[in-house]
Structure 1
Amino acid sequence: MKWFRVTSRQPAATAPGTPPAAGDTAAVPAARSAGPQPSAPPELDYNGRKHRRAMDDATLWDMARRIPMALAQSARLAWSVDRRMTVTILLCQLLSGLGTAVMLTAVSKALPHLATSDARTGLRQAWPALTVAVAAMATGAGMWILADWATRRLNPKIASAADLTLVDLHMRAELSAYDTEGFTDRSQAAEIGALRAVDLADDAKTLTNGFVQLVSAATVLTSLHPLLLGVLVLSVVPRGLGGVIAARIDYRVHDRTLSARNVRGMMRWWLTTSELADELRANTMRPYLHSWYRAMCDRVEGRELEGARPYLLVTLLAASLAGLFTLGMWASLAALALSGAMSTAIAGTAIVASQTAGRALNSIVRYGAVMFHHGLYLSDYYTFVDEVRSMTTSRGTTQAEAPRRISLREAEFTYPGKDAPALRPVTLTLNRGEVVALVGENGAGKSTLIRMLTGLTVPTGGTVLWDDTDLATTDAESVWRHVGLVPQKNGHWPLRARENITLGQPREHGDERVWDAAERVGMTERLHGLPDRLDTLLARSVWGGHELSGGQWQRLACARAMYREPAVLVLDEPTSEMDARGEHLIFRELREMAPDRITVVVTHRLDNVRMADRVIVLDRGRIREEGTFDALVATEGSLLGELYALAQDR
């Protein structure tokens, strides 16, 4: 796992008889008393992250520069999915800020009347201004509610759009893209960016609202008296700095526990999934794994508790300084009012405005720090999207027809970042009507050759022709329409049984062809035995779903390929999990289907190779030998003969 580094730090194991920690349930001490506990899991350092400790190392200026970029990226994504809701949010923010400004101005006009000795007369004179202030406050609150409604409508669209973009690009990318160095890491970082795009929309709304409220308060104060802006700054700066420091403490705790939380999350799935339940119980893994999982929980909990004390101290210090500055502000306002330099009404308005500005600044600091961090991952999302778009399958416009012949002319392939080719120059012809078996040891180049035959990858040297059409300049989708592939690792698609057979093909003939394909692979009886037959969901983890055995899933994958009735049928270890009856049925069916297509079979069960018209033996990326099974086995020094003899001795 290249994202994790195991360090030499090993926390001491809990000694036998050590009292359980506070909060333990009754079951936990029982588990601990079963015997000596294993050593705690090693420390893991999540050192592959591009933005490791990014916020902790960033200056305030770095954060200030990054936030507008994050806002712009968030706005760009929101604009692309729903312009109407995006405009609604922006207008609501502006109107909310305008409401704050009107409210503060109205309060400043009402206060002189309320300060008179005749309360009834003062209230009557202040009533129009107070009415305006209340209306402005109500308008601001209404705009905030409307903005929140628009955001809630926008968020699901942003989540779907970002996720669909990534999924679509992954499905359209050349297979070679997956082999480029760091592709998986960048893909995961982009996925995090897509997940955080929704958070960014909410954060951006709150952050921009804070800016609008702060600007509104500052504008009103400056218009009332030039000195009030300085007073405002003094009253809110301590809270702002305290918020930044507290945010960094939070992030540092998050950063230090990220490895443990990620690994714990992966382990939790393994501990609770039914796929490993048999192994976990039969091999008595529970005591060790429970102890391991508890150690990771304790580690996360301990580090989060470590951050509580400094967080409290910083918060208390910031609040104390803010209180001192606020007291100083009030004293200054009182002095200005007593000296006649400022009216009591303006001083009262300044206090109200400073409170408004303080709340706005708190939002800016808090959500600015969050947006800085989330924005880094959103940048990863856009960078990865641009990268994969440049790697999507786009080879040409020529439309491929069902081939009668596939020719490889000095075709070779080298994976990105590798010096040695996976497949060295190969010259080979496959003809319609014949069954060809590919044989070779692991790493011989069989899967790479299959990819080139089917147009899944284009050669890095030489050419692959379907009749006279060069696959390197042909529309890939038109090639794959004529291909049926049963790979080693076939999909256990969480779909109905019907879709697991028809997947990738339109249903034009009802269920007749579906049942025919199932009959050809011996799955009719099993499908009839399902509660809803072809409508049964094949996913045991979902309520009402059902599961198949490994061999039955392989039969279903073969049925899927046969349902397509392809011109090029390729099966890579199609019967590795089947019983003898199923295996015999599949290979008999392949022989019956052979006249109408080019059939290629990869298998390590060499007895099945007998059914092939021709056997091609690969060794270290080259074709070592080629011919009929009987002729090759009888040839002295034949690799096929050697492998077959080894298989017979087992």
Structure 2
Amino acid sequence: MNSLRRYFSFCQESFLLVWNKRKGYVIAGFILGICLSVQTLVTVRLSKAVIDSLTSGHAQAFYMLLVSLMLFRIVADCMYSWKDHLDRTMDRVVQLDVKSDFVDSLSKLDLLAKEHPAFMQRSSEWELASGKRAGVYQRLNAIVQNVVILLLNNVFLLATHWLVPLFVLSIAIARIAIDYKIVPKRLKLTSLSQKNIVETGYFYNLLTGGPHQKELTVMGVFPFMKAKWLAKANEASGFQGQMDSLSIRARYFSGTVSTLGTTAVMGIVGTQVFASSLTLGDYVAITMAIGLVEGSIVTIFQQFVHIYEDLKYVSGVSTSSDEHHLPANTSRSIAPFPSFRQIEVKNLSFTYPNSNKPALNNISFTIRQGEKWAILGDNAAGKSTLIKLLIGLYRPPNETVYYDGIKQEQLNMDELWKNTSVLFQDFKQYMLSVKENVSLGVAEELCREDRIKSMLGKVGLPNVLRMAKGIDTRLGWLSDDSINLSGGEWQRLVLARTWMKNADLVIFDEPTSALDPNSELELLQEMLNLAERKTLIVISHRVGIASKVDHILLMRNGQIIESGTHELLLKQRGAYFEMWEKQAEWYVGKSKEGMTG
């Protein structure tokens, strides 16, 4: 009973999904479907009348009926074409709506959810599940249309002989039994095939995608990656082959049953014609009606089965992110966002999902408005994790992060992010124009052309302005006229975007990793000049900026091991002093003393 309730609930949800988005399409499709169902019976009756007038020798009636049948079929073809166009259009529109909703739902997930190992597989399954909900409407529409065809033509068959509908029903049930037998196997194979999609796509994109070509070429691993892709692709092809084999065998046996059963019924009807109980027109009409009734019964069953398969798939793919440790980014707006007068971290510890080792352990510090901080440490020290927690991309434990004394969990994070500008270590190269790249996430009033050009000059990209299309030049490789930048140029471009936002809190995560030490120092100095009264946090494993900031945190294995000013930490002659001694010589042309000043 629960299964039946879930089934009808799924149908209702799927219908309402389309109804709430495109009522006009639904109404028009329903009306056309009913009209097309009725036209099947009209065609049957007109065909009977044409044949009867022909055999009875009524020439005038024959030609009039023949023309009527022709005109009616033309109208029916027009309606079929219109219905097909309507269905295709609605399918495209609804699928686009569903994908738009899917993107919106993903945008509301916490970053930690999106970085979870299950996310890539689950997001693919969620998208497919969402699409199946939209497709159920078309199946429901087909069921309604075929139910009307079944009822109308069954009434016609009953008028000829009550046994005929029973024979047709028996044939349809036999075909349904054959189709039903393969449903569990098909469900299992579909599930196995779906699980291969993500991996197959991943390896294929590795082989064909531009960003991976240099590494694959130098390492000589094209054959290895191709073997990985082919193994998964052949496995998926094997599952598809098994499904095709099942379907072909079922279709053959189903077709054979239909042919044998229909032939038997037609033999009985033919006997009635020879006995003059039925006319030749009756024979033709009954033949047509039998095909329509049998086809309708089988189609109705198949559509119900497909809906059942969709339900099984959707039920197997939980859209509840909590069940897979993927927390939804639900609203937590309690207090209005204050300012960045003071950011306080108290006893912050954090452990990633699927890990028992803390990424951060008992972190505490206070940053005041306008201060410039550097967070230093080797890879895996916890620097980037700390920043993600600080700005709410990851949810920290309650009562560990405060803005002006207000707990982060009480703040509207959208407001916080509007006042924060971050350059991440793993920044992405957006294949947009220079202007669009620099303006992403920036308020429209701040995106004046003169300001963009000025900012490009300040971060050392004046050559971009000399391109043929200037700041309208497309970057990347999506179009023939696109221009690609070097790693360092991309990094400077993202730096420009970071400053364009004019945020109160600015965070740089390894902002100069693609630059040489001398260029790094020059750019860091320019960054400090641009920061002015802003609160600035720079994350790095290099000490180039350390002498220029107000405070330094040195991290190791998720803990703060040293904290203080550049001068204080040098005097302590601890871990920071060792880093400074080892790296100072990298900055050619800058003596240690000069750098400390």
- Normalising by structure 2, we get a TM-score of 0.84
> Which sits farther off after the overlay, 573-582 or 365-374?
365-374
127-136 vs 221-230, greater mean Cα deviation: 127-136
Q: Check the 8 A contact 1:162/1:194 in 2, yes or no.
A: yes
Aligned twin of 1:101: 41
1:515 equivalent in structure 2 = 453
The answer (yes or no) to whether the contact 1:438–1:615 under 8 Å persists in 2 is: yes
Question: Mean alpha-carbon deviation: is it higher for 412-421 or for 508-517?
Answer: 412-421
Q: 1:603, 1:609 within 8 Å by CA — same for their partners in 2?
A: no
CA deviations over 1:304-337 (Å, ceiling 9, x no partner): 6677666555443333222221122123334555
Matches within 5 A, 1:78-477: 78-107=18-47, 118-120=56-58, 124=60, 137-178=73-114, 182-196=118-132, 200=136, 203-244=139-180, 263-289=199-225, 312-335=248-271, 346-361=282-297, 363-364=299-300, 367-377=303-313, 383-384=319-320, 391-415=328-352, 421-477=358-414
Ranges in structure 2 where 5+ consecutive residues have no aligned partner: 587-597
Structure 1 227/306 Cα, relative in aligned 2: closer, same or farther at 3 Å?
closer
State the AA in 2 paired with 1:76.
L
Q: 1:418 to 1:460 in 2, by over 3 A?
A: farther
**1-side partners of 2:413 and 2:230: how far apart?**
50
Shift of 1:404: 2.1
Alignment deviations for residues 529-555 of structure 1 (CA, whole Å, 9 cap, x no partner): 433111011121333222112111111
By how many angstroms is 1:130 displaced?
6.5
Tell me the SS of whatever aligns to 1:615. strand
Alpha-carbon distance in 1 for matches of 2:14, 2:235: 35
Q: In 2, distance between residues paired with 1:288 and 1:379?
A: 37
Of 492-501 and 166-175, the range deviating more from structure 2: 166-175
Q: 1:628 aligns with which of 545, 565, 568?
A: 565
Letter in 2 for 1:523: L
**Structure 1 residue 216: Cα displacement:** 3.0
- Matched to 1:357, the amino acid is V
Residues 627-646 of structure 1: per-residue CA shift (max 9 Å, x gap): 1234324425x343455566
Alpha-carbon contact 1:537-1:545 (below 8 Å) kept = yes
Distance 1:595 1:142 in 2: 70
RMSD over equivalenced CA pairs, Å: 3.9
Q: Does structure 2 conserve the Cα–Cα contact (< 8 Å) formed by 1:554 and 1:574? A: yes
Compared CA separation, residues 546 and 248, structure 1 to 2 (3 A)? farther
SS in 2 for 1:383: coil
Offset, 1:223: 4.6
Between 496-505 and 361-370, report the one with greater CA deviation: 361-370
Q: Distance in 1 between matches of 2:499 and 2:440?
A: 12
Maintained 8 Å contact 1:102/1:133: no
Query: Which one of 536, 553, 569 corresponds to residue 599 of structure 1?
Result: 536
Amino acid at match of 1:598: T
Instruction: State how far apart, in whole Å, the 2-side matches of 1:437 and 1:267 are.
Output: 39
* More displaced 10-residue stretch of structure 1: 191-200 or 603-612: 191-200
Aligned: 1:487 with 2:424: yes
Q: Aligned partners of 2:161, 2:72: CA distance in 1, in Å?
A: 22
Match of 2:589 in 1: none
- Pick which of 203-212 and 217-226 moved more: 203-212
Task: Give ranges in structure 1 of 5+ residues lacking alignment.
Answer: 1-60
Match of 1:580 among 517, 522, 531: 517
Residues 1:643 and 1:200: Cα distance change in structure 2 (over 3 Å): farther
- Structure 1 contact 190–381 (Cα < 8 Å) conserved: yes
Report the CA distance shift for 1:112/1:70 in structure 2 as closer, same or farther (over 3 A). farther
Of residues 569, 584, 592, the one that matches 2:506 is 569
| Structure 1, 383-392 or 568-577: larger mean CA deviation | 383-392
TM-score, normalised via structure 1 length: 0.78
CA distance in 1 between counterparts of 2:228 and 2:328 reads: 42
Q: Any conservation in 2 of the 1:571–1:600 contact (CA below 8 Å)? A: yes
Is this contact kept in 2: 1:521–1:582, CA < 8 A? Answer: no
Deviations 1:181-213 (A, max 9, x none): 744433221112345566555555445434433
Point out the more displaced range, 490-499 or 306-315.
306-315
**Correspondence for 2:593:** none
**Secondary structure of the corresponding residue to residue 376 of structure 2:** strand
Q: 1:638-649 counterparts in 2 under 5 A?
A: 638-644=574-580
Distance in 2, matches of 1:231 and 1:63, equals 31
Give the one of 547, 553, 560 matched to 2:484: 547
Q: Note if contact 1:96-1:143 (Cα within 8 Å) is conserved in structure 2.
A: yes
Code of the aligned partner of 2:285: T
Listed one character per residue, the Cα deviations across residues 121-151 of structure 1 (whole Å, up to 9, x for unaligned) are xx55577776776665555443322222222
Q: What is the letter of the counterpart of residue 122 of structure 2?
A: R
CA distance in 2, matches of 1:77, 1:362: 26
Decide whether the 8 Å contact of 1:97 with 1:140 is kept in 2. no
Among 549, 561, 575, the alignment partner of 1:612 is 549
Q: Which residue of 1 aligns with 2:467?
A: 530
Supply the distance in 2 between the matched residues of 1:119 and 1:215 (Cα, whole angstroms).
33
What amino acid does structure 2 have at the position aligned with 1:321? V
Alignment of 1:28-39 (within 5 A): none
Question: C-alpha displacement at 1:596, in angstroms?
Answer: 0.6
Q: 1:69 to 1:222 in 2, by over 3 A?
A: farther
Aligned-pair CA distance for 1:465: 2.7
Count of aligned positions: 584
TM-superposed deviation, 1:603: 0.3
TM-aligned CA distance change 1:581 to 1:552, over 3 Å: farther
Q: Which moved more, 1:134-143 or 1:183-192?
A: 134-143
Structure 1: how far apart are the matches of 2:421 and 2:181? 59
Equivalent residue, structure 2, for 1:37: none
Closer/same/farther in 2, CA of residues 293 and 418 from structure 1, 3 Å limit: closer
Shift of 1:358: 3.5
Identify if the C-alpha distance between structure 1 residues 568 and 316 changes in structure 2 by more than 3 Å, giving closer, same or farther: closer
Residues in 2 aligned to 1:297 and 1:181: alpha-carbon distance in whole angstroms? 22
Counterparts of 2:191 and 2:102, CA distance in 1: 26
Match of 2:541, SS state, is: coil
Equivalent in 471, 481, 503 of residue 440 of structure 2: 503
- What is the alpha-carbon distance in structure 2 between the residues aligned to residue 615 and residue 390 of structure 1? 33
